[in-house]
């Protein structure tokens, strides 16, 4: 896990991408909204999708990566789903996950993770987008509610799934 402070515009721009309680799915690395451009880094032939999700923090939010989010403000999740073939030679899917939020003083942060529960799902060289999204528990439509996502899509309840509220 790695946390770093980012430009406020990287946080505020996410309001144009997804609203709290919702998800937005982007299945092309071309034409991504500006706030998602940093996450569309895989080569086009390795890119499957970006799933952006949002939820408001609680009145007394737990710390995330050692930083306490601002109460009642959106926390955004960005999941980049991509093809990979590492040293083992076995084709698989990686999901690179990040959280974007403001702290109590209004500074913007991005928390990235080295591993994801859906990391390294095996697939064949010609597996299509619909299958990959299904494996990840992501509905194949551009927008929807968080309740439509399975837990394998990378949406976590940080206050209950990590001891002390932090991953």
> By the 8 A CB rule, do 66 and 74 touch?
no
Q: Establish if 108 belongs to a structural domain.
A: yes
> Of 55, 52, 75, which is closest to residue 65 (Cα–Cα)?
75
pLDDT given at position 158: 45
pLDDT given at position 3: 93
Q: Establish if 46 belongs to a structural domain.
A: yes
Q: What distance in Å separates the CA atoms of residue 52 and residue 36, rounded to the nearest whole number? A: 9
pLDDT given at position 95: 81
Q: What distance in Å separates the CA atoms of residue 114 and residue 5, rounded to the nearest whole number? A: 18
What global pTM score does this model have? 0.82
Q: Tokens in use for 22?
A: 């919702």
Q: Establish if 82 belongs to a structural domain.
A: yes
Quick one: pLDDT band at residue 131, thresholds 50, 70, 90?
A: confident
Q: Establish if 162 belongs to a structural domain.
A: no
User: Structurally, how many domains does the chain consist of?
Assistant: 1
Q: Establish if 157 belongs to a structural domain.
A: no
Quick one: pLDDT band at residue 156, thresholds 50, 70, 90?
A: low
Instruction: Tell me what the mean pLDDT of segment 117-126 comes to.
Output: 59
pLDDT given at position 36: 94
Q: Establish if 131 belongs to a structural domain.
A: yes
Q: Establish if 166 belongs to a structural domain.
A: no
Q: Establish if 134 belongs to a structural domain.
A: yes
Sign of CA dihedral 138, 139, 141, 144: negative
Domain that holds residue 16: 2-152
pLDDT given at position 100: 95
């Amino acid at each position: 896990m790695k946390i770093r402070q980012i430009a406020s515009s990287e946080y505020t721009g996410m309001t144009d991408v997804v609203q709290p309680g919702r998800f937005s799915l982007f299945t092309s690395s071309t034409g991504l909204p500006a706030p998602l451009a940093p996450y569309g880094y895989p080569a086009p032939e390795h890119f499957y999708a970006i799933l952006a999700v949002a939820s408001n923090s609680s009145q007394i939010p737990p710390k995330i990566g050692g930083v306490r989010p601002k109460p009642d403000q959106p926390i955004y999740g960005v999941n980049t789903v991509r093809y990979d073939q590492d040293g083992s030679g076995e084709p698989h899917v990686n999901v690179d996950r990040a959280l974007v939020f403001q702290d109590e003083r209004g500074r913007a942060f991005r928390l990235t993770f080295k591993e994801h529960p859906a990391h390294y799902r095996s697939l064949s060289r010609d597996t299509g987008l619909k299958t990959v999204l299904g494996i990840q528990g992501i509905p194949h439509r551009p927008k929807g509610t968080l309740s439509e996502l399975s837990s394998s899509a990378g949406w976590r309840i940080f206050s209950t799934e990590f001891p002390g509220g932090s991953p």
